Amino acid sequence: MSLDGPALAPAPERENWRHFAAKAMGNRSFVIGGLITAIVAAMALGSYGWTPHDVTDLDVASRLKKPSNLFWFGTDHFGRDIFSMIMVGARNSIAVALIAVGIGVVIGVPLGTLAAARRGAVDEVLMRFNDLVFAFPALLSAVMITAIFGPGAVNAIIAIGIFNIPVFARVARGAALAIWPREFIMAAQVAGKGMIRITIEHILPNIANILLVQATIQFSLGILAEAGLSYVGLGTQPPWPSWGRMLFEAQTMMSFAPHMAIFPGLAIVITVLGLNLLGDGLRDVLDPRLRRER
């Protein structure tokens, strides 16, 4: 008789998916957040194929134009179309935040689950080191890293990514610790499965929900961090537009060209809001125990 297999580890089946979808569609945060995120993602993807104007094309003669039919969000001080820049900037924000979250997941989750599986000294060492990294204000340290290794999108990704590691390690460890004492894990141990196999086959599927929610939140923080780094000139470099740098460039011109600040500012706010709503919604849908009383 075999003790492993999906019968013991509760895994979603077709019925569950339908149930999940129905629940998700009924959750306002999830729907609105998902919609906003989808629109931003579509803008970013769309910018590969088409933008109203070329963002690397400087047309100084038509600089500082107010929003119009030709330039939907107006133009900046070099005559670049702000709508096109926001489209391409979305691509840049998403790419940076996504890869940074990826770094956090790929390194942080194995560390966290390892700590939970081994306990003892390994746990202690990993988690104290974790606390150490966590204790630094993330954005400040990101500024330090980019200041040392030079500004640019790649260094921004690494800087933001490093500070995602402890977040995921901690979340993964906490969630895994709650799973380890469960009966189906004991059954797997009795069946002779090793620690790594149990982690991959039983722990990870059961903590994936929590990680997904955390990833959404880290994603929105990543977008904010990228905007912050670009604002101080350490993020993506010209000619590629970045929302943060657009804000920086707008700041001395706010009195006579407010559209230069308003649109990139709105883009950041709306995107972060959308991701946070999506994260909230996901949490409610995936983990009813965490649902807030309404």
Q: Which residues bind other proteins (CB under 8 A)?
A: 56-58, 60-61, 63, 77-79, 150-151, 233, 237-239, 251-253, 255-256
Instruction: Please check whether residue 65 is in contact with residue 259, taking contact to mean a CB–CB distance below 8 angstroms.
Output: no
**∠251-164-148 over CA atoms, to 5°?**
60
Region of residue 172 (left: phi > 0; alpha: psi -120 to 50; beta: else)? alpha
Cβ closer to other proteins: 60 or 70? Answer: 60
Run of H or E residues at 38: helix 28-49
DSSP state of 202: I
Cβ closer to other proteins: 177 or 234? Answer: 234
Cβ closer to other proteins: 50 or 256? Answer: 256
Residues 6+ apart with CB under 8 A from 70: none
DSSP states along 212-235: HHHHHHHHHHHHHHHHHHHHTT-S
Q: Work out how close the CB of 231 gets to other proteins at its nearest, in angstroms, rounded to a whole number.
A: 11
Joined tokens for residue 34: 């998902």
Cβ closer to other proteins: 78 or 184? Answer: 78
Q: Work out how close the CB of 189 gets to other proteins at its nearest, in angstroms, rounded to a whole number.
A: 55
Q: Find out whether the peptide bond into 67 is cis, omega within 30 degrees of 0.
A: no
Q: Work out how close the CB of 76 gets to other proteins at its nearest, in angstroms, rounded to a whole number.
A: 10
Cβ closer to other proteins: 77 or 182? Answer: 77
Q: Work out how close the CB of 208 gets to other proteins at its nearest, in angstroms, rounded to a whole number.
A: 40
What phi and psi, each to the nearest 5 degrees, are found at residue 237?
-95, 155
Compute the distance between CA of residue 17 and CA of residue 205 in angstroms, rounded to an integer: 15
Q: Work out how close the CB of 256 gets to other proteins at its nearest, in angstroms, rounded to a whole number.
A: 7
Cβ closer to other proteins: 151 or 174? Answer: 151
Cβ closer to other proteins: 59 or 123? Answer: 59
Compute the distance between CA of residue 104 and CA of residue 162 in angstroms, rounded to an integer: 7
Cβ closer to other proteins: 57 or 124? Answer: 57
Compute the distance between CA of residue 217 and CA of residue 210 in angstroms, rounded to an integer: 11
Q: Work out how close the CB of 249 gets to other proteins at its nearest, in angstroms, rounded to a whole number.
A: 8
Beta strands in the chain (DSSP E): none
Q: Work out how close the CB of 53 gets to other proteins at its nearest, in angstroms, rounded to a whole number.
A: 13
Q: Work out how close the CB of 64 gets to other proteins at its nearest, in angstroms, rounded to a whole number.
A: 9
DSSP states along 148-176: HH-SSHHHHHHHHHHTTHHHHHHHHHHHH
Three-state SS at 75: strand
